[in-house]
Amino acid sequence: MARSSQIARLLAGRRPDDREGVIGRMPARRLEEHPRELFAPLGPTYDRVGAALSLGQDPLGRRFLVSRLPRGGHVLDVATGTGLVAAELLRQGFEVTGLDLSPEMLAVAHRRFGDRVELINASAEALPLDSESFDHLTVTHVLRYVADPGATLAELARVVRPGGVVALLEFGVPRGPARLLWGLYVHTVLPLAGRLLRNGWQEVGDFLGGSIRDFWERHPLQRQLEWWHAAGLHGVEVSGGTRQASTGSRCGG
């Protein structure tokens, strides 16, 4: 199933159907458009700037995420972006399909992988994929961008075979004295760095800290664990810190 023509079409300006209705305080259409607009200009600089702004933590987080999967099989990498998790999965010998909302980010992934990784332009909220069609699934930084994170997690679990693993990476908020430093970094250093870097990074610098804090205020860990159980994922393990990896296995394996 070649998806590159789909990516080219989307880059030419075609948009999926708009959805009607209002979710929370934001119209549904606006909610999906925000990540698409936020990530559209970032592709060419994402790998270098992301690594620098994360102070080297992002590459470690991705490696840790992939290390949580049992070896072998076909993995769906959701929110694959420019393909950094997918590249680590390939290095570890997995067959990989990448999926992302942003055609611009996928265009960079396509240049990186050519035909080695199938790429799908779609939202994590409604996967155009058969149930139980992947051995495992990785997903990075996507639940903050969707209207209903619990329903999205259930949708991700749907495409994993019984016994397969869902591994999710999300930004966390540290506790104790580290919280002060974290606040200083995301609310002062990041916005300043964004202004200096430009090329779309100003929007990221202004948005990211508030988005992470707001997500954790609205969805404390206990609530998130309930999503995992409701999605039919058991044996859930969560590692803390500013890069939080969570894993769980699809029931029935």
Closer of 124 and 233 to ligand SAM (Cβ): 124
Pairwise CA distance, residues 119 & 5, whole Å: 10
Q: How many C-beta atoms lie closer than 10 Å to residue 93's C-beta?
A: 9
Closer of 123 and 247 to ligand SAM (Cβ): 123
Closer of 96 and 124 to ligand SAM (Cβ): 124
Q: Smallest distance, Å, CB 42 to ligand SAM?
A: 8
Helix, strand, or coil (residue 53): helix
Residues that bind ligand SAM (CB under 6 A): 35, 39, 50, 62, 79-81, 84-85, 100-102, 105, 123-125, 140-142, 145-146
Q: Smallest distance, Å, CB 250 to ligand SAM?
A: 20
Pairwise CA distance, residues 43 & 204, whole Å: 13
CA distances to 37, 78, 180, 199, 204 from 70, in Å: 35, 18, 37, 38, 34
Closer of 103 and 232 to ligand SAM (Cβ): 103
Closer of 6 and 251 to ligand SAM (Cβ): 6
Q: How many C-beta atoms lie closer than 10 Å to residue 223's C-beta?
A: 11
Q: Smallest distance, Å, CB 75 to ligand SAM?
A: 12
Residue 235, class by beta-carbon neighbours within 10 Å (0-12 exposed, 13-18 middle, 19+ buried)?
exposed
Q: Smallest distance, Å, CB 203 to ligand SAM?
A: 13
Q: Smallest distance, Å, CB 140 to ligand SAM?
A: 4
Closer of 58 and 135 to ligand SAM (Cβ): 58
Q: Smallest distance, Å, CB 109 to ligand SAM?
A: 9
Residue nearest to ligand SAM (CB): 81
Phi, psi (degrees; rounded to nearest 5) at 148: -130, 90
**Contacts (Cβ under 8 Å, ≥6 apart) of 105:** 39, 42, 43, 46, 80, 81, 82
